[in-house]
Structure 1
Amino acid sequence: MSKRELHLGAILSGVGTTQNAWLDPDLPGDASVSIDWYIENARLAEAAKFDLVFIVDSPFITPDTAPHFLNRLEPLTLLSAVAVSTSRIGLAGTLTTSFWEPYNVARQFASLDLISKGRAAWNVVTTGLEGAARNYGREEHFDHALRYARAKEFVAVVQGLWDSYEDDAFPRDKAAGVFLDKTKQHVLNHKGEFFTVAGPLNIQRSPQGQPVIFQAGDSDAGRDLGAHIAEGTYTIAENFEDARAYYQDLKQRAAALGRNPDHIVVLPGLIPVLADTDEEARAIEEQENGKLDFTKALVQLGRPFNYHDFTQYDPDAAFPDVGHITLNSYKGHAEKIVRAARAENLTLRETAWRFATRRNPFVGTAETVANEIEHWFTNGACDGFNFRVTRPGDFARFIREVVPILQERGLFRTEYAHDTLRGHLGLPFPENRYAQPIHAIAAE
């Protein structure tokens, strides 16, 4: 095994985050709300020695939203069930900082971390869709810059609460009648710009110390937040050049903050198309793209713009000026669309197809796909990938044909070497902030 190890995650997205994926004849129509489907696929990923399974989430839908978003299980409830049905694979769940309170989030993820014996991760998001605000008693969403500032403090409070108990705070000495060493319980007493939280949290630390922090955000504010807090990031990259630019930018931002850039694991999304020949795989890709409906492509295009209605414009005119509505939704993705449309002088129709049918670099035989994965990994574009699991045949074939090639090349593990998600990802154990001075004295 090479010193640097490829990491693989599996995004379990049920009936799919595109409009047509649910039509796959091998996919149960209720996959997004079937705990059996999630457990089955988590076990498949675990048998293949994947690092983690990943559950995405957002708290707002419309009638035109993609099938998986319309009807799906809540991530923490789902992952608690998966935790007791697996033993080694990591469990990453999405939860927004915009509409929750730090104490609740700290307690929920600490619970999942204990239930799973140290395999939990929190995917920190700020919620891009403005309509979500009305589901949480607000007329308007937090401003983009404000919600990222709020998220940074939110995570700091949660991590502070996770340190409420030192690792050996509970002797549970029945002979002496001592359950808790009170000197090892710590009150946070946080008073900040957005939150006032006393603490302590009423749950001990797990075998990995604290849950891993994931983050996804491509805007400047999103990347800055990732550089500050993330131990893993999920990103979407159209091609190798974009992936490498993001990878280098994020790592440089982290290093500028005094962080070790190797302690942020960057995982772009992966949706490979596999076949017996490269030509057959490209034909399958073209066939799938040909099934897309233009109206649905417009809906998909509108989501990063807070489900902006693009049907109101002439599809064969220049891409409309909608820059003013990118500021408070999925800002990074929306601005990427605007930049591409302007740079390439695209019409609205061309823009919709451009982002609904992007050319996939991971198309071909198992060896072709493995070669491309290795190329990205060894040339500074990623630390691994998150495979989006919907079509059962695609995931099974990837595990059966591509993973063994990566293992034979010494890129990917053949067995788990650790029991915790931090161990899988090569991340350091976070020392309890209150115990550090004591450990330093002992070391001297």
Structure 2
Amino acid sequence: MSSAPKLHLGLFNQPLGRHVAGWRQPEFKGSSTDIRWVAELASLAERGKFDFYFLADSLVGPAPGSTKRAGNLEPLTVLSALSVTTSRIGLAGTATTTFSEPYNLARQFASLDHISGGRAAWNVVTSTWNAAAGNFGADKLPDHAARYERAREFVKVVKGLWDSWDDGAVIADKESGHYIDPARIRQLGHDGAHFSVAGALNVPRPPQGHPIIIQAGASDDGRDLAAETADVIFSAQDNIEDSRKFTADLRQRASAKGRSVPPFVMPGVLPIVARTRAEAEDIYAGLEEKTDITEGLDQLSQRWGFDLSAYPLDEPPPAPVFSGNLFSDGYSRRVLLEERARREGLTLRQLARVAIASRGHRLFVGSAKELADDFEAWFTTGAADGFNIIPPYLPGSLHAFVDLVVPELQRRGLFRQDYTGTTLREHLGLERPARR
């Protein structure tokens, strides 16, 4: 049993919890800017033998007059701090290709990989909200296809920069006075449609060769980029059949691009678990008591691009929600919500409550054994290679997962008993890429 494939676990962490009412629970004690609190959560995930700790990012501030949650720290800064408070868990951060430059981002992630001893991962995003454009001197985002075209070249340049140093380029020869071997460092000389980058990078080649690449796009452009460049896909499916089709499609696309090892597909899951289903349902009810339906309506309105607050709450969502015009920003989350509304015949109020609780991912409420059964079914039938765990409230939901669910997965031989390597590539079972 020990030699059988193991599922992978990432912690997609938001220090305030994913559920909008998570920070209002009596047990919550931290803040979004308290590095000691963030380090405590990362250490808890490391105790649970998670593959990686994953931070999202946002490039917009709170709307005028808003009282909603806002104000997270910049991911790479946080992960650099966590690199010295943890020793094994991977450290994944989000960085956009739309409002960044390849050279600077390449050196940042190379630096994080060196600092952490080979545990860095880059979550490649193209940005999805027009509000971010105004913070970077633009009226609106480039269109969807243009963003992905830029992203494809961006990733190519970053990998080229990581490869601009040979592994043995630093010789530190005290007798000759030569610190580097110039024959082992090459200029990149990239001149493309979006970027002109001379190189070489000013940081030696990362310990992993290339830090792990994570990608979350679900449109055709997003899937193609993931199939070509990603090691891990952060997906959003709320039923096993859709996830099985998504995973099969990604594997087929990766094979068509000549990849022998396809990306790992890891759907997001918000677990509210306890020793019994009744206990878990009580926790969920407590969260729901502290939510306002307008939170869900605001989220739906933002996702669909028009105001849903004027429509009757106890009738089906308006026709534009089911228009199928989904080839634009936030693709995967809208697909998930639209299909669930259609499948279950939800009213607008019910759909808003789903949005409040799940924030675009799958919510699971039940016992630890039931969640282990669920994960085993998804894993063994090819629907997923693992899961990104998104704690709805903290620290309780993460403690419950680490203390109740992880031991059950280990007992079944589905998850590691301990780390066997020191780098994130080793956790994922991926070879270190040769320098191109």
Taking structure 1 as the reference length, the TM-score comes to: 0.90
The change in CA–CA distance for 1:269 and 1:135 in structure 2 (over 3 A counts) is same
Which one-letter code corresponds to 2:104 in the other structure? N
The change in CA–CA distance for 1:332 and 1:342 in structure 2 (over 3 A counts) is same
Q: For residues 338 and 272 of structure 2, what CA distance do their matches in structure 1 show? A: 28
The answer on whether the counterparts of 1:112 and 1:120 sit within 8 Å (CA) in structure 2 is yes
Which one-letter code corresponds to 1:150 in the other structure? R
Q: What count of residue pairs does the alignment treat as equivalent? A: 429
Q: For residues 406 and 419 of structure 1, what CA distance do their matches in structure 2 show? A: 22
The change in CA–CA distance for 1:19 and 1:365 in structure 2 (over 3 A counts) is closer
The change in CA–CA distance for 1:321 and 1:22 in structure 2 (over 3 A counts) is same
Q: For residues 144 and 67 of structure 2, what CA distance do their matches in structure 1 show? A: 24
Q: Which moves more between the two structures, 276-285 or 17-26?
A: 276-285
Which one-letter code corresponds to 1:371 in the other structure? D
Q: Could you say what secondary structure the match of 1:186 adopts?
A: coil
**Structure 1 residue 77: deviation in Å?**
0.3
Q: For residues 302 and 56 of structure 1, what CA distance do their matches in structure 2 show? A: 22
The answer on whether the counterparts of 2:237 and 2:362 sit within 8 Å (CA) in structure 1 is no
Q: RMSD across aligned C-alpha pairs, in angstroms?
A: 2.4
The change in CA–CA distance for 1:82 and 1:336 in structure 2 (over 3 A counts) is same
Q: For residues 360 and 157 of structure 1, what CA distance do their matches in structure 2 show? A: 34
Counterpart residue number, 1:371 = 373
Q: Could you say what secondary structure the match of 1:118 adopts?
A: coil
Counterpart residue number, 1:311 = 309
The change in CA–CA distance for 1:57 and 1:178 in structure 2 (over 3 A counts) is same
The answer on whether the counterparts of 1:53 and 1:92 sit within 8 Å (CA) in structure 2 is yes
**Structure 1 residue 4: deviation in Å?**
1.0
**Structure 1 residue 298: deviation in Å?**
0.4
The answer on whether the counterparts of 1:76 and 1:93 sit within 8 Å (CA) in structure 2 is yes
Are positions 1:153 and 2:142 aligned together?
A: no
Which one-letter code corresponds to 2:398 in the other structure? F
Are positions 1:12 and 2:33 aligned together?
A: no
Are positions 1:99 and 2:99 aligned together?
A: yes
The answer on whether the counterparts of 1:278 and 1:364 sit within 8 Å (CA) in structure 2 is yes
The change in CA–CA distance for 1:400 and 1:347 in structure 2 (over 3 A counts) is closer
**Structure 1 residue 345: deviation in Å?**
6.4
Q: For residues 343 and 11 of structure 2, what CA distance do their matches in structure 1 show? A: 34
The change in CA–CA distance for 1:362 and 1:339 in structure 2 (over 3 A counts) is closer
The change in CA–CA distance for 1:401 and 1:349 in structure 2 (over 3 A counts) is closer
Q: For residues 171 and 362 of structure 2, what CA distance do their matches in structure 1 show? A: 54
Counterpart residue number, 1:441 = none
The answer on whether the counterparts of 1:130 and 1:328 sit within 8 Å (CA) in structure 2 is no
Higher relative contact order (CA 8 A, sep 6+): 2
Counterpart residue number, 2:273 = 274
Q: For residues 370 and 66 of structure 2, what CA distance do their matches in structure 1 show? A: 34
The answer on whether the counterparts of 1:33 and 1:72 sit within 8 Å (CA) in structure 2 is yes
The change in CA–CA distance for 1:120 and 1:191 in structure 2 (over 3 A counts) is same
Which one-letter code corresponds to 2:108 in the other structure? Q
The change in CA–CA distance for 1:125 and 1:38 in structure 2 (over 3 A counts) is same
Q: For residues 354 and 404 of structure 1, what CA distance do their matches in structure 2 show? A: 29
Which one-letter code corresponds to 1:78 in the other structure? V
Identity %: 46
The change in CA–CA distance for 1:249 and 1:135 in structure 2 (over 3 A counts) is same
The answer on whether the counterparts of 2:13 and 2:53 sit within 8 Å (CA) in structure 1 is yes
**Structure 1 residue 309: deviation in Å?**
2.9
Unaligned 5+ residue runs, structure 2?
A: none
Counterpart residue number, 1:438 = none
The change in CA–CA distance for 1:255 and 1:318 in structure 2 (over 3 A counts) is same
The change in CA–CA distance for 1:115 and 1:299 in structure 2 (over 3 A counts) is same
Q: For residues 66 and 151 of structure 2, what CA distance do their matches in structure 1 show? A: 26
Counterpart residue number, 1:399 = 402
Unaligned 5+ residue runs, structure 1?
A: 434-444
Counterpart residue number, 1:442 = none
| Deviation per residue, 1:88-132 (Å, 9 max, x gap) | 110000000001111111011111011101100000000111111
The change in CA–CA distance for 1:24 and 1:273 in structure 2 (over 3 A counts) is same
The change in CA–CA distance for 1:190 and 1:393 in structure 2 (over 3 A counts) is same
The answer on whether the counterparts of 2:270 and 2:390 sit within 8 Å (CA) in structure 1 is yes
Q: For residues 346 and 393 of structure 1, what CA distance do their matches in structure 2 show? A: 30
Q: Could you say what secondary structure the match of 1:172 adopts?
A: strand
| Deviation per residue, 1:264-314 (Å, 9 max, x gap) | 1211112222223224433543554454321111012123235x4322444
**Structure 1 residue 41: deviation in Å?**
1.1
Q: Could you say what secondary structure the match of 2:301 adopts?
A: helix
Counterpart residue number, 1:33 = 33
Q: Could you say what secondary structure the match of 2:147 adopts?
A: helix
The answer on whether the counterparts of 1:16 and 1:67 sit within 8 Å (CA) in structure 2 is no
**Structure 1 residue 335: deviation in Å?**
4.4
Q: Could you say what secondary structure the match of 1:329 adopts?
A: coil
Which one-letter code corresponds to 1:378 in the other structure? T
Counterpart residue number, 1:417 = 420
Q: Could you say what secondary structure the match of 1:244 adopts?
A: helix
In the TM superposition, 1:220-299 aligns within 5 A as 220-260=220-260, 262-289=261-288, 291-299=290-298
The answer on whether the counterparts of 2:18 and 2:390 sit within 8 Å (CA) in structure 1 is no
The answer on whether the counterparts of 1:228 and 1:254 sit within 8 Å (CA) in structure 2 is yes
Q: For residues 361 and 327 of structure 1, what CA distance do their matches in structure 2 show? A: 24
The change in CA–CA distance for 1:416 and 1:336 in structure 2 (over 3 A counts) is closer
Q: For residues 266 and 66 of structure 2, what CA distance do their matches in structure 1 show? A: 25
Q: Could you say what secondary structure the match of 1:228 adopts?
A: helix
The change in CA–CA distance for 1:247 and 1:67 in structure 2 (over 3 A counts) is farther
Q: For residues 96 and 361 of structure 1, what CA distance do their matches in structure 2 show? A: 27
**Structure 1 residue 429: deviation in Å?**
0.5
Q: For residues 111 and 229 of structure 1, what CA distance do their matches in structure 2 show? A: 21
The answer on whether the counterparts of 1:166 and 1:432 sit within 8 Å (CA) in structure 2 is yes
Counterpart residue number, 1:174 = 174
Q: Could you say what secondary structure the match of 1:311 adopts?
A: coil
Q: For residues 102 and 217 of structure 1, what CA distance do their matches in structure 2 show? A: 19
The answer on whether the counterparts of 1:133 and 1:139 sit within 8 Å (CA) in structure 2 is yes
The answer on whether the counterparts of 2:48 and 2:402 sit within 8 Å (CA) in structure 1 is yes
The change in CA–CA distance for 1:167 and 1:147 in structure 2 (over 3 A counts) is same
